[in-house]
Amino acid sequence: MPESFYNTSLSLLTDLYQITMAYGYWKSGTAGKESVFNLYFRKHPFQGGFTVACGLSAVIDYLTAFSFADDDLHYLRTLTGTDGRPLFEPGFLDYLKNLRFSGDIDAVPEGTVVFPNEPLVRVRGPILQCQLLETPLLTLVNFQSLIATKAARMRLAAGSDTLLEFGLRRAQGIDGGLTASRAAYIGGCDATSNVLAGKLYGIPVRGTHAHSWVMSFADELESFRVYADVLPNNVTLLVDTYDTIQGVKNAIEAGKVLRSKGYQLSAIRLDSGDLAYLSIEARRLLDEAGFPETSIVGSNDLDEYLVTSLKHQGAKITIWGIGTKLVTAYDQPALGGVYKLAAIRNPSGAWEYKLKLSEQAIKISTPGLQQVRRFYDEHGFISDMIYNEETPPAGATTMIDPYDFTRQRHFSETTPYVDLLEPIFRKGQLVAGQPSIHAVRNRVQHQLAQLHPGIKRFTNPHAYPVGLEQQLHQLKTDLILQLRRQ
Ligand SMILES: Nc1ncnc2c1ncn2[C@@H]1O[C@H](COP(=O)(O)OP(=O)(O)OP(=O)(O)O)[C@@H](O)[C@H]1O
Ligand SMILES: O=P(O)(O)OC[C@H]1O[C@H](OP(=O)(O)OP(=O)(O)O)[C@H](O)[C@@H]1O
Ligand SMILES: O=C(O)c1cccnc1
């Protein structure tokens, strides 16, 4: 089953300035300088306490297919500078023709819970190549991680209820719709209404029917009977087109006919009005009529807050259809992931560490060949410590809060840990297996189960501790002081 759309050449899917910088490296003879970039974000979306990493599968497809096709080069040849003369020399375009990704990628597996400032993807290789990858990698990881996180929040709200993703009609175009369906499934949805996503990614597809079906008949009961007749093994009836309580009664009548033919009324759907009140009334009517197995689907501009509220109100909904607020990440439509240079190998062969200064401490980048060490105990994850692989912690270790050096945590050499970034590419060759989308989805739930409930709450969540290993903290501090002195 093809898992992606990204396995054709998409090397022009980048910002022009990446290609002009690549040209600059080529022209100045520095294209091959070995460098390290980290992709990370600074703040959780939705004022939450966790983020779900997602999008690596698309990154792998993108990099595997990475090359400039003849028509890409032809297009680049047509580009001109402000004076109308060609932007790029032909020699550069010849160089691009033979360019393939030849570097190393280390990344956090999809479905891992991650925290601010931790590298999700680390790219190491010739600087020209690393530079070209900034925009596509951010495009592929930011959106999917955002939607997977939103879906994980919906899953937390819904508990063990069924979550259906209904968002395609409101999604940000074709790729937005497809990748949102994929990420929503990974984050915890059970199925999607998006049939192409079902085909491409192997996600279960589910659906009910629209108001137009009911409206196309002279009366509602007739519409239900015909629907149940033609699709007897997939009957969820939308009951709110005219009068919801009467709609439930009509669904029960259609359900009786279905039952006489050996089928079940699977569910009814409520899509307007007071979903708590109406679902409680509908449940009562269904139970009294002998349909305790018939479920109630709720939909209508739902999000994780409304699902939580409706459950508190005792709503009898056990299947939630969620579209717009999920696939558009309505309350925060972007994850602010960034991609920063962290080291360049100088001519003597030593790493020269790099850092971006800022007046805002949160925007100062971290140097180094970063790896994330996640400590855990029998209750779950304790803390994440970012360290430089060139100076790995040996034995007992101290982690320092980068925004308040007086806040420190000490770990003995026996504290169990796992290093999060795994080798994905080595010298341009894919070295990692790709888990199935179902395994990634399971990983999300497994990971969330390791987080303290305070980190998962929607309001003022507890901050999971992330810090720098002491040698890396020192390196960063020294670099900041050195740059400020300059
Ligand atoms: N009991 C409830 N508590 C809180 N919010 C609710 C409750 N019932 C429904 N809602 C939400 O209130 C919002 C109001 O929706 P809207 O104004 O569209 O209602 P409606 O008029 O019933 O629907 P429609 O316009 O589709 O006919 C929706 O987001 C809906 O999910
Ligand atoms: O509300 P969402 O979370 O986006 O879920 C998808 C919605 O799409 C459909 O109706 P549509 O919005 O097209 O029309 P309606 O508002 O008139 O029901 C469906 O009935 C849901 O309400
Ligand atoms: O199948 C459904 O009920 C559905 C699909 C898309 C959008 N709203 C509802």
Write down which residue in 286, 310, 327 finishes a domain. 327
Residue 34 forms part of a structural domain: yes
Residue 10 forms part of a structural domain: no
Residue 7 forms part of a structural domain: no
**CATH number where 224 lies:** 3.20.20.70
Both structure tokens of 417: 């840990």
Query: Taken in order 145, 151, 155, 156, is the CA torsion positive or negative?
Result: positive
Write down which residue in 292, 327, 362 finishes a domain. 327
Question: What is the whole-number distance in angstroms between the Cα of residue 300 and the centre of ligand 1?
Answer: 6
Are 193 and 63 contained in the same domain? no
- Distances from the Cα of 133 to the Cα of 58, 139, 433, angstroms: 13, 10, 21
Are 232 and 342 contained in the same domain? no
Residues contacting ligand 3 via CB (< 6 Å): 166, 193, 207-208, 321, 323
Are 305 and 354 contained in the same domain? no
Question: What is the whole-number distance in angstroms between the Cα of residue 83 and the centre of ligand 1?
Answer: 57
Nearest CA to ligand 1 atom 7: 274
| pLDDT level of residue 205 (50, 70, 90 thresholds) | very high
Rounded CA-CA distance 108/101 in Å is 20
Atom from ligand 2 closest to the CA of residue 303:
3
Assess contact for 57 and 4: CB atoms under 8 A.
Answer: yes
Question: What is the whole-number distance in angstroms between the Cα of residue 306 and the centre of ligand 1?
Answer: 9
Are 279 and 193 contained in the same domain? yes
Residue 4 forms part of a structural domain: no
Q: To which residue do tokens 């998006």 refer?
A: 194
pLDDT at residue 7, as a whole number = 65
Region 8-29 average pLDDT: 95
Q: Residue 255 sits in which domain range?
A: 148-327
Region 185-204 average pLDDT: 98
Write down which residue in 280, 306, 327 finishes a domain. 327
Are 174 and 257 contained in the same domain? yes
ipTM confidence: 0.96
Residue 11 forms part of a structural domain: no
Residue 447 forms part of a structural domain: yes
In percent, how much of the chain has pLDDT > 90?
A: 96
Region 243-263 average pLDDT: 98
360-388: pLDDT as tens digits: 888 999 999 999 999 999 999 999 999 99
pLDDT at residue 155, as a whole number = 98
- For a pocket test of ligand 3, which of 162, 165, 193 has the largest count of ligand atoms closer than 8 A to its C-beta? 193
pLDDT at residue 486, as a whole number = 85
**Nearest residue to 401 (alpha-carbon basis) of 357, 436, 366, 448:** 366
Assess contact for 106 and 38: CB atoms under 8 A.
Answer: no
**Nearest ligand, CA 317:** 1
Would the CB of 276 count as within 6 Å of ligand 1?
A: yes
414-469: pLDDT as tens digits: 999 999 999 999 999 999 999 999 999 999 999 999 999 999 999 999 999 999 99
- DSSP conformation letters of 291-329: -TT-EEEEESS--HHHHHHHHHTT----EEEE-HHHHTT
Would the CB of 306 count as within 6 Å of ligand 1?
A: yes
Nearest CA to ligand 2 atom 12: 300
Question: What is the whole-number distance in angstroms between the Cα of residue 443 and the centre of ligand 3?
Answer: 27
The per-residue pLDDT of the chain, averaged, comes to 96
Are 286 and 349 contained in the same domain? no
Q: To which residue do tokens 């972007």 refer?
A: 334
Question: What is the whole-number distance in angstroms between the Cα of residue 84 and the centre of ligand 1?
Answer: 57
Are 119 and 91 contained in the same domain? yes
411: helix, strand or coil: strand
Question: What is the whole-number distance in angstroms between the Cα of residue 300 and the centre of ligand 2?
Answer: 6
Both structure tokens of 468: 């720098």
Are 246 and 107 contained in the same domain? no
**Nearest residue to 164 (alpha-carbon basis) of 123, 144, 193:** 193
Residue 3 forms part of a structural domain: no
Q: What is the CA radius of gyration of the chain?
A: 26
> Length of the chain in residues, anyone?
486
Give long-range contacts, CB 8 A cutoff, 24+ apart: 246-250: 246/220, 247/220, 248/281, 248/282, 248/285, 248/286, 249/285, 250/220, 250/221, 250/224
Are 362 and 315 contained in the same domain? no
Rounded CA-CA distance 413/281 in Å is 59
> Is the pLDDT reported for residue 251 higher than 90?
yes
| pLDDT level of residue 134 (50, 70, 90 thresholds) | very high
The pTM for the full model equals 0.97
346: helix, strand or coil: coil
pLDDT at residue 4, as a whole number = 58
Q: To which residue do tokens 């192997």 refer?
A: 202
Are 259 and 175 contained in the same domain? yes
- Sequence-distant (≥ 6) Cβ neighbours of residue 356 within 8 angstroms: 340, 341, 363, 364, 365
Are 413 and 468 contained in the same domain? yes
pLDDT at residue 250, as a whole number = 98
Are 347 and 481 contained in the same domain? yes
Domains in the chain, number? 2
Residue 71 forms part of a structural domain: yes
pLDDT at residue 13, as a whole number = 93
Alpha helices in 377-469 (DSSP H): 437-449, 453-456
**CATH number where 82 lies:** 3.20.140.10
> Is the pLDDT reported for residue 2 higher than 70?
no
